[in-house]
Structure 1
Amino acid sequence: MLGTLRFKIIVPITILTALVIICISTLVYNQTASTLESQGRATAELTRISFENALTARKTAEDIMNKEMIGQATMTSLLMKKGTNFNEITDLAKRAGIDEFWITDATGKTVLTNVGPAVHLDFSAEPGSQAYAFMDLISGKQKEMSQAAQVRNFDGQVFKYVGVPGWNEPRIVQVGRKGQMLTELDNQIGASPLLARIKSQLSDQIVLAALINKDGKVVAASEKSFSQIPPALSTLMNQASSTTTIKEKSDYYQNKKVTYYAASLSNGQKMVVAISNEVLTRIFTLSIASVLIGIVLVIAFLIWLVSRTLRPLHVMEQSLLMLADGKGDLTKRLPDNTNDEIGRTARAFNQMLDHIQQLIRQIQQSSVQVAASSEQLTASAEQTRSASEQIASIVQELAAQSEQQTKDMETGAHDVQNISKGMEGISQTTGSILDTIGVTVTKATEGNNAIHQAVTQMNSINETMATLAKGVQTLADRSNQINEIIEVITGISAQTNLLALNAAIEAARAGEHGRGFAIVSDEVRKLAEQSAHSAQKIAELVSGIQQETAQTVQFMTTAISEVQEGITVIHTAGLSFTEIEQAIRQVEQQTAKATHAVQTIQDRSRHAVASIQTAHDLIEQAASRTEQISAATEEQLATFEETSASAASLSRMAGDLEASVKKFVV
């Protein structure tokens, strides 16, 4: 069943049809989903715009009322400055639509109100109360105050109050209005009626619309059962709080598949809209049903169509089986009475049978001739094989001789190449020696020049040392002269000291008249002692200089002697370097001649190697051709053997063919 033609036709077409239907259904589902998503976003955006417009409208209405009440309080403050009374202010409140007004003194106590002539209210009595906040108007902290509409504690009514200070004195002028208009405004554009209208007017697919405050609590919802945010929507609410774009999430609401859309409003609150996905569920169910029904219909139609189309082919199959069971009866033919592809195939097969019938007849006639020819071919092949064996033996002997000559030539060429390589090594060695000798000559010349320079430098040093020795000797003579001068100074100091002593004695004899002379003689004595002390130090320094000068003279004499010996040694080394340089130059000339001789031998060795290589190549070519001839002879011999075997096989095949074709009925 799996290998039938019917199966091969029905299964691919069924699979292709199913894939097409699935692709179309998927495309419709995705397109619908995309459309619903766009519609959902548009609905959510429209809902957000509606909320924003409602917030703007309510805030605008409250601002207008607030400005109107501020104006009324300001006019009342001016009227209070000019002077008024209960009746006048009450009549003004009725005409201006003021529900209440309260006017206090500088302490916050009521002095005038339209509630009654004897009503007294102290605004400062209860700190933290609704009235106490207006005390900032008296203290000057506020220029005007406005409170949102709220429920009063004592009567439960909704009132909105605004206040201004006195015109030119500290007081509170407060105007109150009932919050009925704001309540009516909330009933018209508030959160609850707006959500109800959104659900009923925007789309039938809206399952839920709700308003969430900053604390995450439900302010208003179109469904009373939606009193708090499900945990699954907490993440969506957090995402909506951190961006201005609309966020979405698929989930369930009351067992219904919905998509939640959330967005943040300008006042910090958030709105959420749930749109049903029942349409997608129905489309998905219909798509699956359509695919299954389409596949069943296609399979049924294909079975009917293929069975009807392949009926002539089944007839042909039965006819071919009958022909096969006929054991070589080529006289039977297939039915070809149709004009479709199967009929044309049957006619072509019948024509093929006609050709095969003619071919079998020709084979029967040729098989006898082939058997006779194969026997003759076998005899000829045997004779040719014997001749080829003799030729192959001669060619193998020639090939063996050529191979021996090739080995001898290779040995000679190898020896000559070794000689050539040895001469190349000698040539390279002598070249290296020449290079080394050249470097040695250069270094010897540089060394000789350096020795000459060293001799010159040593002579210069000798002269400098001699000059320095003379200078040191002169310094020693000068030191002796300084020593003599110091001795003279020492003698003068001693005489001066003696004279100062005599002068002191004489001054003592003179008494009071010789006191000044005594002072002078004492100073002279001190100078003489200082001079003797300084002369002593100079004498010590000069003595040290003389000792060091004597040592320097001794060292200079030794240095001069050593420099002279160095000059002699360097001069002798210079003569040795000159002799070495001349000997190296002679070695260089002899090495150059040896290198030239080695180069000549190397060139001749290369020519010999080339000649031997040429002869070797010729012998190898001859040996190669001999091997080719031998191989060709062997191939020819093998061919003849194969021909003989083929002839015998052909003879057997001709017999078998003749026996086989006799089975066919022609």
Structure 2
Amino acid sequence: MSYKSKIILTIILIPVTAVIAVTTILGWYTRTMMLKQAETSGKGITRILEHAVDYADQVPVLAENAIALHMQASATILAHLVDIAENQAHLTPPQITQRLKQIAAATILDECWITDEKGHAYLHNIDNIDFTFSPDPQKQPQAHEFYQILTGQKKTVIQPLRKREIDNRHFKYVGVSGIDKPRIVEVGCHAPTILSMRQKIGLQTLIKKLVDGDRLLAVELVENNISILSYGIAYSSTSKQYHRTTIDAVQQAIASGQDIIIPRTNHLQIIHPYINQYSKRPLAIIAAISTRHVKNATRTFLSSAAQVAAITLVFSLIASLILAHQVSSPVTTLIQAATDLQQNSFDPQSIQKVARRPDELGQFARAFSEMALAIQKREQILQQQVEELQIQIDHRKKDEEVKKIVESDYFQDILSRADELKAERRQS
């Protein structure tokens, strides 16, 4: 990898790495804080639900009591009506029965029963039934309580919703004593009327209205044995089969009295134990608090961070190209100068632009130029010395060759022969 490429890569990596690191830390911190906020909000919701559940649990009872008082008033009015009808208007039983049917059709009362002194219901709005009240609870588990009105033990009997003997249907009955003589005047409401009222204002309706499907996904009211008392679910899974961890967590929360939070895929499951204010039973509220807003916020944050990283990458790339050119161009010039110096073709003017820089590269270029000139000067001196030495070597070689020739036997023979020829010429 070239020096320029390393500079570009380094300049890009430093800011991008910093952005990624900061984004990761901030993303983790943001998600953690939002989850903690969701936990805090969830705990607050469960505490509000605790009071709402206590209140909603009693609303049907209070409403039923109000209905009972209304039924008591109706029964009292009916007792006066029978007294007037029989003793003053002298209406016959069929005529009174017809009026009772009209009253039942126009009010919430489903049944009206008026007896004689022996408990025989001879006036009523139900056809084809002959009924006599008995004090025996074995024979009449539901109706025997009203016999106390005949004996004078009680003036009024208000009975909760119960199953009656004659047809096993659930009714609520209220009875009062007669005005003119000992008799039972009883009115009744069929279960659907009261159950409809319970459903409209009861705990189940409240919980279902609280579950909005946005932040609060589910609310379930359970006992220690995980039997569901009431629930409201907004997410797709409506299975009432609990995971083992949830069962253990509910039992642990009720035993310790402390909230338990279980992280799930898309929500936090908060288990809040409490003691019902009226029944004093240990119960637990299981609330599913959505964490989708945390994921959406994290996703939005990461998307913004990715855009910032992309912009940073672009600016880093541009900055790195500019900076790399400013840094690598002088280095490239110095490298070329070193190559020229190696080839003995260095020109000091080639690095004058770099040498004029005030930074370290300029200082290096000036030092390099001085060094190059010194090297060139030394090479010239060395070359001159080499040439002079070569001349001396050549002269010495010639002298040695001449000496060898002179000292050779052949040359000595020639000299001897020459001396002999000279001698002969002189003699002749």
Tell me if TM exceeds 0.5: yes
**Residue in 2 aligned with 1:510?**
none
2:327 aligned with 1:313, yes or no?
Answer: yes
2:64 aligned with 1:62, yes or no?
Answer: yes
**Residue in 2 aligned with 1:190?**
202
2:254 aligned with 1:238, yes or no?
Answer: no
**Alpha-carbon distance in structure 2 between the residues aligned to 1:237 and 1:142:** 46
Aligned partner letter, 2:264:
D
**Residue in 1 aligned with 2:132?**
121
SS at match of 1:310: helix
**Alpha-carbon distance in structure 2 between the residues aligned to 1:292 and 1:301:** 14
Superposition deviation, residue 20 in structure 1: 1.5
Aligned partner letter, 1:149:
L
Q: Which TM-score applies when normalising by structure 1?
A: 0.42
Structure 1 window deviating more from structure 2 (229-238 vs 211-220): it is: 211-220
**Alpha-carbon distance in structure 1 between the residues aligned to 2:326 and 2:195:** 90
Corresponding residue to 2:112 among 74, 90, 100: 100
SS at match of 2:132: coil
**Alpha-carbon distance in structure 1 between the residues aligned to 2:224 and 2:67:** 26
Distance 1:290 1:133, change over 3 A: same
**Alpha-carbon distance in structure 2 between the residues aligned to 1:301 and 1:124:** 97
Unaligned runs of 5+ in 1: 361-658
Distance 1:272 1:144, change over 3 A: farther
5 Å-filtered alignment, 1:113-512, equals 113-115=123-125, 119-125=130-136, 127=138, 129-134=141-146, 145-155=157-167, 157-163=169-175, 174-199=186-211, 202-212=212-222, 216-222=226-232, 225-238=238-251, 241=254, 248-251=261-264, 257-263=266-272, 264=274, 266=277, 267=279, 268=281, 270-284=284-298, 298-299=312-313, 301-322=315-336, 324=338, 326=341, 334-336=351-353, 344-349=359-364
**Alpha-carbon distance in structure 1 between the residues aligned to 2:201 and 2:7:** 74
Question: Any conservation in 2 of the 1:77–1:166 contact (CA below 8 Å)?
Answer: yes
Distance 1:74 1:52, change over 3 A: same
Distance 1:243 1:148, change over 3 A: farther
Question: Any conservation in 2 of the 1:247–1:262 contact (CA below 8 Å)?
Answer: yes
SS at match of 1:302: helix
**Alpha-carbon distance in structure 2 between the residues aligned to 1:222 and 1:40:** 16
5 Å-filtered alignment, 1:513-528, equals none
**Alpha-carbon distance in structure 2 between the residues aligned to 1:330 and 1:49:** 94
Q: Which has the larger radius of gyration?
A: 1
Question: Any conservation in 1 of the 2:19–2:309 contact (CA below 8 Å)?
Answer: yes
Aligned partner letter, 2:134:
F
Superposition deviation, residue 8 in structure 1: 4.5
**Residue in 2 aligned with 1:29?**
31
Superposition deviation, residue 277 in structure 1: 2.8
Unaligned runs of 5+ in 2: 383-428
Q: Deviations over 1:487-522 (max 9, x none)?
A: xxxxxxxxxxxxxxxxxxxxxxxxxxxxxxxxxxxx
Provide the identity percentage. 16
Question: Any conservation in 1 of the 2:271–2:287 contact (CA below 8 Å)?
Answer: yes
CA RMSD after TM alignment: 5.1
SS at match of 1:129: coil
Distance 1:180 1:314, change over 3 A: closer
Superposition deviation, residue 279 in structure 1: 3.6
Superposition deviation, residue 234 in structure 1: 1.8
Distance 1:185 1:82, change over 3 A: closer
> Which structure's residues are more often strand, by fraction?
2
Distance 1:49 1:126, change over 3 A: closer
Q: Which TM-score applies when normalising by structure 2?
A: 0.60
Instruction: Count residues with an aligned counterpart.
Output: 355
**Alpha-carbon distance in structure 2 between the residues aligned to 1:322 and 1:116:** 119
Aligned partner letter, 1:235:
D
**Alpha-carbon distance in structure 1 between the residues aligned to 2:223 and 2:180:** 43
SS at match of 2:226: coil
